[in-house]
Structures are given as structure tokens and as C-alpha cells.
Structure 1
Amino acid sequence: MAGIGPVEPEPPSSDGTPHAHTQSHADTLWSGSPNSLRSYERWAALPPRLRRTLQVLLVAAAVAGAYAYTALSTTPTAPSPTPWPSQVTFLHYEGSGPPDPHHPRAGTFRFTGSVRDAHPVTIRQVHAGLPGLNTHVTPALPLTVKGGTPKPLTVRISVHKCAALPPGFTLPHLDLGLRNRQAQQQHSYLFGGAYPRDLATYLHATCGPREGHSGPPRGPRTDLTWK
């Protein structure tokens, strides 16, 4: 058992010879070369405040080294780029709406706007895409659409000048102003099928049919001459 205290004399052995003194490493309280002993003495001779300061600096240097090694050994993950708003924004035609009693000469057309992206898209503008037409959108713009949460849009279209309308149009469209965290865009959404027919029906009722036709054309192409 190791201990600290004066060295006790050992009794002679049975044959009268002194014991050979041995000391194991387990009994050694301090071991080292003379250089290490001198280093310890120099460290012990330093003022306590200086020793604490040096200990703090050594710990800080070790932490900084570990952080630098982790930063260099870890490959940063590049953030995924945000797509352009027109790439993730979709507009679906739902059908014509009931007449607006406050605007009897206007036609109402119902759409659903959706976004297929984690970042929302703001619809800033909606235009009918034809000269001579005015548009009004409900709900009011700008309208922010989040991914997975489609928003209904009601577009009220009114004619302010029949003579300004083109003699014919193919695949009527809506021009939308879009914005997300990537960019702002003007994008045209083309429609076939029901929307061209419904729009042609409204324009016939408002500006009159093409000469020789009693009603709107049945196909997606509308070749019309307006009064």
C-alpha cells in the first residue's frame, strides 16, 4: 500500500542480512526524467493567475482545433435551387360562373390556382390576354398561394370596346404576373376546350355573332367579326 510518511527501519532477516529494498510503479507518486521534473517545478513556480490564464488559452486552442477539423471534414450541403414561379404554378379552368348582378354585361369565369413547391407563389396580376377586355379578380390581388393549398380565383371579364377585339383568336389565354423567392415572371396560360367556348359565348352575347352565324362556334377556334 502506498503512503506518505517517514521511512520505517526494517528488521533484519532471519539470517541477519538486510532486506533488499524494491519499489514498484504502483508505489511511485511521481516519476519522470529530470527534464520533466524541472518543467513541473517551473510550472509550479508560475503565479496562480498566470497558470489559470494559460489553462484557459490551452482549452480554447483545443476547442478551436476540434471545430476546424470538423468543419474541414464535413462537406457542406448545397441548398436546392428554387424553381421559377411559372414552373410550379398551375391554373385550372373550373367553368363559367353565375352573372354578377352588379355587372350584368360582364362574364364570370372560375379557376383554381395551385403551387407544386415548398415555397409559395404570389399572383400579382391577371389579364384576359386580348385587347378590348377588362378583368377583375376575386379575391383581390396580390394573392399568395402555398404548396398543397389551392386557391379559387374568379375572373370577371368585361368588354370595353368590341371594335378593339381581334377578328379571331385561337386558344384564349390569361396573362399572370407571378413572384416567388427566385424571380418575378409574366406567364401566359393557354386554355383549350371549355374556356374558349365559354368566352366565345360571352363575347357573342355582348358584341354580336359573326355575320352568318347564329351562335358561338363549337370548336376551340373562334373566328369572329365584331360589330
Structure 2
Amino acid sequence: MNGIGPVEPGEDTHVREPAPRPVPTGRLAPLGRLPERHRRAALAAATAVALLAGGGYLYATRPQASPVPALPSPAPRVTAPPYPSQVVDIVYLNETVAEDPGAAAGFRFEVVLSVLSGPPVTVTGIAQPYAGLTVDSTPRPPFRTEAGSSRKIVINMRVTECGKVPGNAGLPFLDVTLRNTRAIQTHSFILGARYAQHLSEALQVACSNDSR
């Protein structure tokens, strides 16, 4: 029979089987060909990458919060200056002798006006409650006194009508009009018992001389 069949191996020869192809193990290796533990690790890594990518996308596309408006700073508190009558004090010093005792029947004395605090205070007027007396002062109003300082004022009272002055001034006072940047006030200052005694004595002397 003619034909060509498979070549029989000769003596001392062997049929050599083809070597198995190596399985790729790099990052391009198909997952189906990786060992089980490698495949699980690769799947976990791919899942983590996907989660990170998805989270980054969600963060980048998140709605932006509206800016919170800044609260207005509180306005500075402005303290009003005190009323002038709250910071002015007047103290009676003593009766003085008139430069010309015969010029007019009356009473001459000194007081000290002090401004304790706040803006300067201006004296715009000095008066007294009796209709039979006139009042003037040195210095003459208006005059101003700074805070923390004092000023001596000489007060002159003259009798114009004895029938309209009391024989005994029990609680006499001075009406002083004061002005500062807060207000204008007329305040009655009671100068004390010594002032009342000296004024009563002066009025009695003045009206006794006038009656003669």
C-alpha cells in the first residue's frame, strides 16, 4: 500500500510535546486567568478606584452653599453728657464788706462754683426769689467753667423795696441758669444755714436804716 503516514520515531528518538504557553500575570492579564487570590485583589482595587472616581465627581459637582452674610458690627455706644445741674456744685464762702457801704443797702458775699465732670458749663443767669431784691455778680454772666475746675463768684444783692423782702430769710436759695452741650437748666442752689443767717441780718439792717 502506498501512502505517507505519520513518521515513526526512530531509535533513540522521542516525540517532543509543545511547551505550555505562560499565563500573563501583569496588569493586562485577563482576570479569568489570574489565580483566585490575585483576582480578588484586582477586583477590590478596581472597586476602590471606581468609588474614588465617583466620590470625586460627586464632590466636584456638588451644589455650592450660598455665602453666609456677615453680621453687621454693633454700632458704638454713644454716652450722652450729663445734665449741667448734675455736675455743678456751688458753695457759700462768706459775707464780704462792700467797697462802698453807703452806695446801696444790700448784701455782698462770695460763692465757689465747681464743675465736677463732663463738658464745660456756662452760667447764663443768676437770680433770687425775692421781688424786693436785685442781684448782680462778678464776673457777669455769661461765663464758662471747665470740668475739673472752680471759679469764685462775688454776688451783690441790693434792697429795692423793703416791703417785698422777708424779715427773716429762713431757707433762701440762688436760681442759677446753666448750659452745656446736653441741656439748659435753671437750678435752685440752697447755700445752707450760715448763708440764711447772714442774709437775714443784712436785710434787717438795710430795711432798718431805710425806715429811719
Q: Per the shorter chain, which TM-score range?
A: 0.5 to 0.7
**For residues 17-166 of structure 1, what are the structure 2 equivalents within 5 Å?**
74-101=73-100, 103-166=103-166
Q: TM-score, normalised by structure 1?
A: 0.57
Query: Aligned equivalents of 1:142 and 1:110: distance in 2?
Result: 17
Q: Identify the residue that residue 61 of structure 2 maps to in structure 1.
A: none
User: Percent identity among equivalent residues?
Assistant: 27
Query: Aligned equivalents of 2:174 and 2:128: distance in 1?
Result: 5
The runs of 5 or more residues in structure 2 that have no matched partner are 1-68
Query: Aligned equivalents of 1:155 and 1:126: distance in 2?
Result: 9
Query: Aligned equivalents of 1:76 and 1:116: distance in 2?
Result: 29
Q: Identify the residue that residue 38 of structure 1 maps to in structure 2.
A: none
Query: Aligned equivalents of 1:121 and 1:79: distance in 2?
Result: 20
Query: Aligned equivalents of 1:108 and 1:101: distance in 2?
Result: 11
- Tell whether the 8 Å contact from 2:112 to 2:152 is kept in structure 1 after alignment: yes
Secondary structure at the aligned position of 1:205 is classed as helix
Aligned residue pairs total: 142
- Tell whether the 8 Å contact from 1:100 to 1:108 is kept in structure 2 after alignment: no
Query: Aligned equivalents of 2:95 and 2:86: distance in 1?
Result: 26
Pairwise CA distance, 1:97? 1.3
Q: Identify the residue that residue 192 of structure 1 maps to in structure 2.
A: 192
CA gap of 1:202–1:166, structure 2 versus 1, over 3 A, is closer
- Tell whether the 8 Å contact from 1:131 to 1:166 is kept in structure 2 after alignment: no
Q: Once the two structures are superposed, what CA deviation does each residue of 1:91-140 show, in whole Å capped at 9, x if it has no partner?
A: 00010112121735232110000111130111111112222000110011
1:191 counterpart letter in structure 2: L
Query: Aligned equivalents of 1:100 and 1:172: distance in 2?
Result: 24
CA gap of 1:169–1:106, structure 2 versus 1, over 3 A, is closer
Query: Aligned equivalents of 1:87 and 1:171: distance in 2?
Result: 21
Q: Once the two structures are superposed, what CA deviation does each residue of 1:29-56 show, in whole Å capped at 9, x if it has no partner?
A: xxxxxxxxxxxxxxxxxxxxxxxxxxxx
Query: Aligned equivalents of 2:169 and 2:198: distance in 1?
Result: 13
Q: Which runs of 4+ in 1 moved over 3 A?
A: 166-169
Cα RMSD of the aligned pairs, angstroms, is 2.2
Secondary structure at the aligned position of 2:100 is classed as coil
- Tell whether the 8 Å contact from 2:87 to 2:118 is kept in structure 1 after alignment: no
CA gap of 1:133–1:198, structure 2 versus 1, over 3 A, is same
2:81 counterpart letter in structure 1: T
Matched, 1:204 2:204: yes
Question: Over alpha carbons, which structure has the higher Rg?
Answer: 2
1:88 counterpart letter in structure 2: V
Q: Once the two structures are superposed, what CA deviation does each residue of 1:141-170 show, in whole Å capped at 9, x if it has no partner?
A: 101111111011000000000011145442
Q: TM-score, normalised by structure 2?
A: 0.61
- Tell whether the 8 Å contact from 1:175 to 1:189 is kept in structure 2 after alignment: yes
